[in-house]
Amino acid sequence: MMFDVWAKDREDKNNEVYKDNKGKVQLIIKTDVQNPDRPKLIAWVGKAKKPRYNYCFRTLEHFNKYKQDIIEEVIERANKRIDEKEQDKRIKKEHKIQTKLGDIFHHSFGYDMTINEFYQVTAIKGRKVELTELNIDYDTTGFLTYRVKPIVNSFVTDKEGNKKVVNKILQICTYNPDKPCEYVSFDNGYYKLYNVTEAVKRGETWYENRCD
């Protein structure tokens, strides 16, 4: 077990302790201003045992400004993380109600090609959603280029006649709440899926180019 050389300084009862909106300690600051010409500041962030900041300053004014900047930066960042987690919870709760049987999800991929896949929600249990791949209708628009759309309720099957089913937990992403997407775990990684149910109802099509 390694000796904690900073324990005494970090646990000093005279230290300044700053907490986030959940009451969790995010910042501990130890100061020494006995010499106003050489004020010193040591600060620990989160659960770290080693200080992130350990500086001496030439003036008390510079010391005070730097200290305030650290407090604002660390606590603001911690509170932002809390807000993002709360937002995720709210969106996931809303999404649990919004996803319905029969909804259509779309995924596209390809480096020098654009290939589309469509999935239909065929079962829901909590946040676990069964997606079944749909057959696609192709409309040729040029050399190796197409406009495609899913054929609702027409499912892809293998040689034995089994439907291609993906039974995984969907997680809504919040980087763009106005255009939510889904991440669903496939055997070969994570696919980003968009709910295109309304677009399919409107008769929209998707561009595709492939050489097979």
pLDDT tens by residue, the chain, 212 residues: 578 889 999 999 999 999 999 999 999 999 999 888 899 999 999 999 999 999 999 999 999 999 999 999 999 999 999 998 887 777 666 655 567 889 998 888 887 889 999 999 888 776 677 888 999 999 999 888 999 999 999 998 877 777 777 665 555 444 444 555 555 555 555 667 788 888 999 999 999 998 76
Interatomic CA distance for residues 178 and 42, integer angstroms: 43
Q: Are strands 53-56 and 145-155 parallel, antiparallel or unpaired?
A: unpaired
| Cut 0.75: pTM above it | no
Residue 199 and residue 109 in one domain: yes
Burial of 17 (0-12, 13-18, 19+ CB in 10 A): exposed
Per the domain annotation, does 89 fall within a domain?
yes
Q: What is the CA radius of gyration of the chain?
A: 27
Residue 23 and residue 76 in one domain: yes
- Residue at which a domain ends, from 67, 97, 127: 97
Interatomic CA distance for residues 210 and 60, integer angstroms: 67
Interatomic CA distance for residues 74 and 47, integer angstroms: 13
Residue 108 and residue 204 in one domain: yes
Question: Which structural domain range is residue 43 located in?
Answer: 7-97
- Residue at which a domain ends, from 39, 63, 97: 97
Interatomic CA distance for residues 190 and 210, integer angstroms: 22
CA distances from 153 to 101, 107, 120, 209 (A): 11, 17, 8, 24
